[in-house]
Structure 1
């Protein structure tokens, strides 16, 4: 079942431009290592925090990536921009438009 990964975090203002600039390389490396990654959206919340939304083909693939994401050098380097994390969670897509499959 398609799964959405939600990761809420904070980034110091001085690191925002670099974080955004390095995002495409990080996502490409993640997609190469984890082909179950279907889409990724970096969003900024009204309070200045960030929410990373990643669409996965399955919960198993999302959970495997979460366990081993630090083994991807570009991902580990990108995570250095995060000053505080509010955690990671996975939710299963029950209905969608358009259908992500």
Structure 2
């Protein structure tokens, strides 16, 4: 089974890392409730305040529909608000 993988690398101030982790659960709950095709997500802490968010979607269409919704729910908005800078966004296929 192939899935679509969203890779987003971003920067968060180190003093807000705990807030980011606290907001993560609410964001995931909103994704589960509102985003068809959402399968899983992993958040990886990298050096120097950088993070890599790895989100798995059932299909490219599900990923595109999610992007179109943006930060439409409070839990998603709270997580996004903690991001200081998006460094890169990529889409791939898991095989």
Decide: shared fold, TM above 0.5: yes
String of CA shifts for 1:51-100, please: whole Å, max 9, x gaps.
Answer: 0000100011011101212112210121111001113221122x2xxxxx
SS at the partner of 1:71? coil
SS at the partner of 1:70? coil
- In structure 2, what is the Cα distance between the partners aligned to 1:72 and 1:87? 23
What is the aligned partner in structure 2 of residue 55 from structure 1? 56
The count of aligned residue pairs is 94
Give the C-alpha shift of residue 11 in structure 1: 0.3
What is the aligned partner in structure 2 of residue 99 from structure 1? none
TM-score normalised by L of structure 1: 0.85
TM-score normalised by L of structure 2: 0.90
Unpaired runs of at least 5, structure 1: 96-101
- In structure 2, what is the Cα distance between the partners aligned to 1:49 and 1:18? 14
String of CA shifts for 1:34-59, please: whole Å, max 9, x gaps.
Answer: 03110000001234410000010001
- In structure 2, what is the Cα distance between the partners aligned to 1:82 and 1:60? 25
Unpaired runs of at least 5, structure 2: none
String of CA shifts for 1:7-46, please: whole Å, max 9, x gaps.
Answer: 1100001111011011111111111100311000000123
Answer yes or no: is 1:86 the counterpart of 2:87.
Answer: yes
Answer yes or no: is 1:7 the counterpart of 2:8.
Answer: yes
What's the RMSD between the two structures over aligned residues? 1.3
**Runs of 4 or more above 4 Å deviation:** none
